[in-house]
Amino acid sequence: MTRKSPQEKKALSYAKDHRNSYGENDKSSRKNIPRNKRNNVRADRRREHLVLAQSQPDDVESELKRRRTKKAYWSKWSDSPLAEIVARALRRRARVGIIDSEQAEAKIAKLPRARRR
């Protein structure tokens, strides 16, 4: 196994490391992800209970097999690659006037595999 140069390590870090880009505190995900999963299961149980209580015996099975639409379910967001986060921060700095836009674009061009938006 060959040793990696610092430049290779940096490029791998920008490509493989990810950051939370959802917009909330990253520590709160520890509580919010399990909570949202629980809420989905709880909603299914409530719906099944209502179906059992209100339906006729011959309609129960077909009603229970009906599922909520995929859109109604909560799903996790994937984290963004570090290069994308850094590029977004550089563009924001240029927009606000902290750095020149040419300087920001030059730094973004140096980023490995940064998506150009």
Mean of the pLDDT values across residues 36-59? Answer: 82
Same domain, 84 and 71: no
Same domain, 63 and 92: no
Residue 15: how many other CB atoms lie within 10 Å: 15
Same domain, 87 and 51: no
Same domain, 43 and 74: yes
Q: pTM of the full predicted structure? A: 0.60
Same domain, 37 and 8: no
Q: Which residue range is the domain that position 57 belongs to?
A: 27-78
- What is the Cα–Cα distance from 8 to 29, expressed in whole angstroms? 31
Q: With 0-12 CB in 10 A as exposed, 13-18 as middle and 19+ as buried, what is 105?
A: middle
Same domain, 72 and 33: yes
pLDDT at residue number 116: 47
Comparing CA positions, the residue from 22, 9, 33 lying closest to residue 80 is 22
- What is the Cα–Cα distance from 12 to 115, expressed in whole angstroms? 15
Same domain, 32 and 71: yes
**Domain count within the chain:** 2
